[in-house]
Structure 1
Amino acid sequence: MKNDFNHIQSIYWVFTQLCNDDCDHCYNDSSPFGKRISESDCMAIIENLPDTVDRLILSGGEPVAEKKLLYAILDRVREKYNGKTQVMLQTNGDLLNKNIVETLINKGVTRFDIASIDRYHKKAGSRLIELADLFESCGVSGTEKDPLIEGGHYLTENPLSWGYWGASEDMWLGGNWARGKAIKNDIWKKDPDHNFCSILSGARNFLGGHDDIPQEISIQLWKINPCCPGTHFPMGDARKQKVAHVLQRASKNAVFKILNEGTPLEMGVPIGISKQQASLKNKELKNICLYCDHFLKCNKNIIFDENGIKELA
């Protein structure tokens, strides 16, 4: 596990939940009425990011739905990191046009991921050919379908690329995340044997120490999380706390160190809850994210204090 958290490989930041669409499966309740934060909050969050970030993924909601704020974020990120951070934009693509794509490229976006090529989204992939032509006209190459770049190396040799993916049953958004509208619409993945925590975008390796997947955290608006679905209680507030300091505290907590291993059924072992007990509760709840929520709610006072995550041997 890392000791210095002022360098992190990847941050996934949902800076808005405003969206032009209102998808049934959306884990963070994005919609035309989705939650938003101010530009000053976003600038404070950027100030509190680690000194070195290899990859920053900007997402939503639909980031282009808050175009003015997106542009301000890109300008500040480029100023802070001097263009050394790979900036990726995750978008449904509905609002993109040539002028917007060219502006985003000029402001430092080097990777576009179209996250709407599936049955859940309004257009269900119908714009794919149109988007391919749009990106080609802007000099953006379609290098691969998979948005994840192999090997954890995010400063890729290809300087400008795009890919597409969606909430298929084979991918993690196919109902896996027991969150938001997926819960409300009863399309979350009911499979207690599926350990989402152990794969990329789960909690495994958020503190580092593993070479097979990148070190990645997520920030949901301002909430610092070890995973994209987010723990029931966030690790910290990126508007007010240095992200590196929050991760340092997490690295001294036995529960979060176990999450870093991607083995959430073992979270309770340091406080006397056996893996067998956890497995029985997980089987009852039918989803590892729901078990994690249950565990943290039941043991909040042991794991957290007024300053956030406690040190816990």
Structure 2
Amino acid sequence: MNQNFNHIQSVYWVFTQLCNDDCDHCYNDSSPFGKRISKDDCMAIIDNMPDKIDRIILSGGEPMADIKLLHAILDKIQARYKGETQIMLQTNGDLMKPKKLQVLIDKGVTRFDIASIDRYHKKAGGRLMELADIFESCGVNGTEKDPLLEGGHYLTENPLSWGYWGANEDMWLGGNWARGKALKHDNWLKDPDHNFCTILSGARNFLGGHEDIPQEISIQLWRINPCCPGTHFPMGDARKQKVADVLERASKSAVFKMLNDGDPLKMGESLGVTQEEASEKNQELKNICLYCDHFMKCHKDEIFDENGVKPSEQLV
């Protein structure tokens, strides 16, 4: 694991759940009535982020549905990190126009990911060619879909770029997290053998130490999480706590060490829950996120205290 949590590779921040769309498969309840946090909260969260971050991914909800807040966040990030942090924006693209795009570029966004090119979103991918023209008009290159999975080299070589992807039977429906509207609409993956922790946006390597996947933490509004689905109880509150301090505490937890290794069925071993017992419960619940929720609810007092993650005696 990392020894210095004041420098991390990537922060994925859902700063709003407000969205112009209302997709059944959305894992975080984004909609036109989605949850929001205040500008003051967002400014405090940026102040509490690590001193050095290689990239910040801003997402939602739909970030451009909360455009004034997005602009304020971009200005604050630039003021704090002086252009040394790459800013990526994940958007459904529905609200993108040339003038809006140029403002975002001027405020420091260098990578745009359109996450709606599929038949499950409102526009059903119908704007792709229009979006291509909009990006081209502002000099944004669009030749790479998954730059983070290529080690980030593409992002270094192409400082202004865009890509696209969307829900499909293999991932956003075929591998759906049991969260949000996906859970409410019974649109989640019923496969206990699918381990979300090992993939990008899962918990593996959120504390660092592994070379096969980028280091990334997730902040859902203010909840500091090891993964995008989020654990049932957050590791800490980014409005009130330094993110580096929260990660330092998590690095001393035997439970979160197993999540960092991508082995959620082993996270209870330090508490007397064998891997065999965990596997049996996971088979019953049919989804590793639901098993993680069950485990943390059953052992909340052993894992968390008033400051978030409680260091384990086995690692202190």
Common fold: TM-score over 0.5: yes
Cα distance between partner residues in 1 of 2:47 and 2:271: 36
* 1:1-313 equivalences in 2 (<5 Å): 1-146=1-146, 148-153=148-153, 156-172=156-172, 174-312=174-312, 313=314
Q: 1:149 to 1:278 in 2, by over 3 A?
A: closer
Matched letter for residue 92 of structure 1: N
How far apart, CA to CA, are the structure 2 residues paired with 1:122 and 1:103? 25
Give the distance between the partners of 1:153 and 1:193, measured in 2 at CA: 32
The answer on whether the counterparts of 1:172 and 1:196 sit within 8 Å (CA) in structure 2 is no
Amino acid paired to 2:222:
W
Partner-residue secondary structure (3-state), 1:94: coil
What amino acid is the match of 1:201?
A: S
The answer as to whether partners of 1:166 and 1:173 remain within 8 angstroms in 2 is no
The RMSD of aligned alpha carbons is: 1.1
Q: How many residues are aligned here?
A: 313
Partner Cα separation in structure 1 for residue 116 and residue 172 of structure 2: 14
Tell me the CA shift for residue 148 of structure 1.
3.0
Question: SS state of the match for residue 151, structure 2?
Answer: helix
- The question of whether the paired residues in 1 share the 8 Å contact of 2:173 and 2:187 is answered with no
Structure 1 residues 79-122: Cα deviation after superposition (integer angstroms, max 9, x where no partner):
11110111000000000000000000000000000000112111
Residue type of the alignment partner of 1:221: L
| Structure 1: gaps spanning 5 or more residues | none
Q: Residues 27-75 of structure 1, C-alpha deviation per residue, up to 9 Å, x if partnerless?
A: 0000000000000000000000000000100000000001000000001
- CA distance in 2 between counterparts of 1:154 and 1:89 reads 16
What residue identity is the alignment partner of 1:194?
A: H
Q: Give the fraction of aligned pairs with identical amino acids, expressed as a percent.
A: 78
Secondary structure at 1:142 match in 2: coil
Letter in 1 for 2:64: V
In 2, the alpha carbon distance for the partners of 1:259 and 1:241 equals: 21
Shift of 1:153: 5.0
Conservation of the 8 A alpha-carbon contact between 1:202 and 1:227: yes
Aligned AA (2:83): G
Normalising by structure 1, report the TM-score. 0.98
Could you list the runs of 5+ residues in structure 2 that have no partner in the other structure?
A: none
Structure 1 residue ranges, 4+ long, deviating more than 6 angstroms after superposition: none
AA of the residue aligned to 2:210 = H
Counterpart CA distance in 1 for 2:173 and 2:146 is 14
Q: Which amino acid aligns with 1:18?
A: L
Deviation at 1:307, TM superposition (A): 1.6
SS at match of 1:279: helix
* Distance (whole Å) between structure 2 residues aligned to residue 169 and residue 259 of structure 1: 26
User: Residue 16 of structure 2 aligns to which amino acid in structure 1?
Assistant: T
| Aligned-partner SS, 1:219 | strand
Instruction: Answer yes or no: is the 8 Å Cα contact 2:148–2:214 preserved in 1.
Output: no
Q: CA deviation at 1:171?
A: 2.4
Please report the TM-score for the alignment, with normalisation by the length of structure 2.
0.97
- Checking the alignment, whether the CA contact within 8 Å between 1:55 and 1:154 is kept in structure 2 is no
Contact 2:48 2:239 in 1 (8 A): yes
CA distance in 1: counterparts of 2:160 and 2:173, whole angstroms: 26
Which region of structure 1 is more displaced relative to structure 2, 175-184 or 107-116? 175-184
> Is this contact kept in 1: 2:196–2:288, CA < 8 A?
yes
Instruction: Give distance in 2, aligned partners of 1:209 and 1:241.
Output: 23
Provide the C-alpha distance between the structure 2 equivalents of 1:173 and 1:57, rounded to a whole number of angstroms.
22
Q: How far is the alpha carbon of 1:167 from its aligned partner?
A: 1.2
